[in-house]
């Protein structure tokens, strides 16, 4: 008589293990918030410890691929979420406990991977402390720096155009600009080794159109460490935005600090268009602060800017105006909440911190 071997379906994850994984998000959150109280230790052991190895490894693996692996990853993830909702969405009504268990397992794993691969950088030492800078400034210091910045911007603008009323057009392709970012970071790394950047992994996002309607110029994929740039917005900002996303890759999660690192890289670049992009990009931040503090002084300074530079600003404003939609404020509010949840207590307003970094860094340095 033949021996019958029962067929057993092996469940690789027991219900007990699923429960543990689902609930693990709560101690994870508590641990991250506790570690946030020790930025010096995070700076030493994570941002300057394991993170550079993780980051370089991902950039080495994905950097040579001409398209965005991260965007493909998000596409697959979106499909899997839809599949889950179609197949198990009814659990929400009939098996609520297991529905939320599955959801929290996914959230727990994503939360862990996000913070391991990149997110802990939000809790590192503030950049002004690392560079030995003050984080505040007087209106007089701001005025002095902005006047220097306007003079520098006007000079570079006229060198490029030969006419102060002509706007600057970037003559390079997106791929050319991505390659050219390395020059500025090489020179920056000679001055500040912690800000060196290699290997390169920067891509044009496959979702540039959705990014445009959401109001974003780019983003970093924390799971593949690819810098993603909005390919529809090819204007004077493109070199600086590319450098900005690369600044995220080397561990500067805060938007204001990434802007500052990107500026330092752009203005050290041998290419004059990169330097122009850097100078007039941060000029608008300084003008915004002056307008807030002294509206009359703002009017006078604004009139001293070359008309061609103003045309570049208007070009960007028109681009975003053309893509305004009712959903954009929702995306901005969501991102604002995300920033606040990740140690940027002022949300989008914290972008003005870049002015403090600029004013104090260039207090005794030439522009």
pLDDT confidence band for 115 (50 / 70 / 90): very high
Question: Per DSSP, what are the bridge partners of residue 267?
Answer: none
pLDDT confidence band for 1 (50 / 70 / 90): very low
Task: Note whether 259 and 278 are within 8 A (CB).
Answer: no
Same domain flag for 197 and 93: no
Q: In what order do the strands lie in the sheet containing 218-221?
A: 202-204, 226-229, 218-221
Q: In this structure, is residue 26 part of a structural domain?
A: yes
Same domain flag for 110 and 226: no
Q: Is 31 helix (H, G, I), strand (E, B) or coil?
A: helix
The answer, yes or no, to whether residue 327 has pLDDT greater than 80, is: no
The answer, yes or no, to whether residue 4 has pLDDT greater than 50, is: no
Same domain flag for 94 and 144: no
Q: In this structure, is residue 268 part of a structural domain?
A: yes
pLDDT confidence band for 335 (50 / 70 / 90): very low
The answer, yes or no, to whether residue 269 has pLDDT greater than 70, is: yes
Question: Could you give the dihedral angle defined by the CA atoms of residues 267, 184, 247 and 331, in that order, rounded to the nearest 10 degrees?
Answer: 60
Same domain flag for 156 and 98: no
Cα distances (Å, whole numbers) of residue 21 to 26, 34, 84, 103: 10, 20, 18, 11
Same domain flag for 172 and 308: yes
CA 79 vs. chain centroid, Å, equals 25
What is the average per-residue pLDDT within 89-117? 89
Q: What is the mean pLDDT of the chain?
A: 89
Give the total number of structural domains in the chain: 2
- Residue range(s) defining the domain that contains residue 50: 15-123
Whole-angstrom Cα distance, residue 61 to residue 8? Answer: 39
Whole-angstrom Cα distance, residue 254 to residue 122? Answer: 6
**Per-residue confidence (pLDDT) for residue 55, from 0 to 100:** 96
H/E segment holding residue 28: helix 25-35
Tokens of 274: 């990169």
**Per-residue confidence (pLDDT) for residue 324, from 0 to 100:** 78
The answer, yes or no, to whether residue 244 has pLDDT greater than 50, is: yes
The reported pTM is 0.89
């Amino acid at each position: 008589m033949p021996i019958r071997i029962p067929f057993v379906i092996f469940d690789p994850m027991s219900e007990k293990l699923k429960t543990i994984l689902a609930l693990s998000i709560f101690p994870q959150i508590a641990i991250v918030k506790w570690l946030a109280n020790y930025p010096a230790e995070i700076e030493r052991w994570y941002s300057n410890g394991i993170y550079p190895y993780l980051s370089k490894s991902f950039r080495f693996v994905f950097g040579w691929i001409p398209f965005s692996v991260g965007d493909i990853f998000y596409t697959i993830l979106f499909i899997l979420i839809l599949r889950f909702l179609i197949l198990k969405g009814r659990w929400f009504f009939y098996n609520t406990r297991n529905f939320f268990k599955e959801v929290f397992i996914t959230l727990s794993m994503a939360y862990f991977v996000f913070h391991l691969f990149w997110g802990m950088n939000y809790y590192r030492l503030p950049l002004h402390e690392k560079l030995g800078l003050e984080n505040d400034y007087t209106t007089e210091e701001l005025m002095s720096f902005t006047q220097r910045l306007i003079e520098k911007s006007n000079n570079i603008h006229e060198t490029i155009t030969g006419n102060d009323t002509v706007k600057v057009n970037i003559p390079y392709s997106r791929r050319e600009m991505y390659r050219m970012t390395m020059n500025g970071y090489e020179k920056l790394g000679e001055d500040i080794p912690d800000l060196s950047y290699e290997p390169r992994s920067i891509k044009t996002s496959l979702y540039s159109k959705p990014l445009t309607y959401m109001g974003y110029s780019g983003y970093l994929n924390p799971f593949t460490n690819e810098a993603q740039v909005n390919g529809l917005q090819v204007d004077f900002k493109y070199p600086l935005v590319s450098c900005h996303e690369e600044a995220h890759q080397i561990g500067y999660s805060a938007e204001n600090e990434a802007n500052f690192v990107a500026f330092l890289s752009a203005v050290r670049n041998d290419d004059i268009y990169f330097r122009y992009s850097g100078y007039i990009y941060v000029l608008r931040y300084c003008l915004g602060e002056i307008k807030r503090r002294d509206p009359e002084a703002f009017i006078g300074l604004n009139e001293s800017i070359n008309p061609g530079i103003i045309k570049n600003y208007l070009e960007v404003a028109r681009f975003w105006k053309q893509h305004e939609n009712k959903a954009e404020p929702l995306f901005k509010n969501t991102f604002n909440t995300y920033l606040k949840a990740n140690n940027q207590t002022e949300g989008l307003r914290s972008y003005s911190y870049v002015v403090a970094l600029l004013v104090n860094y260039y207090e005794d340095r030439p522009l």
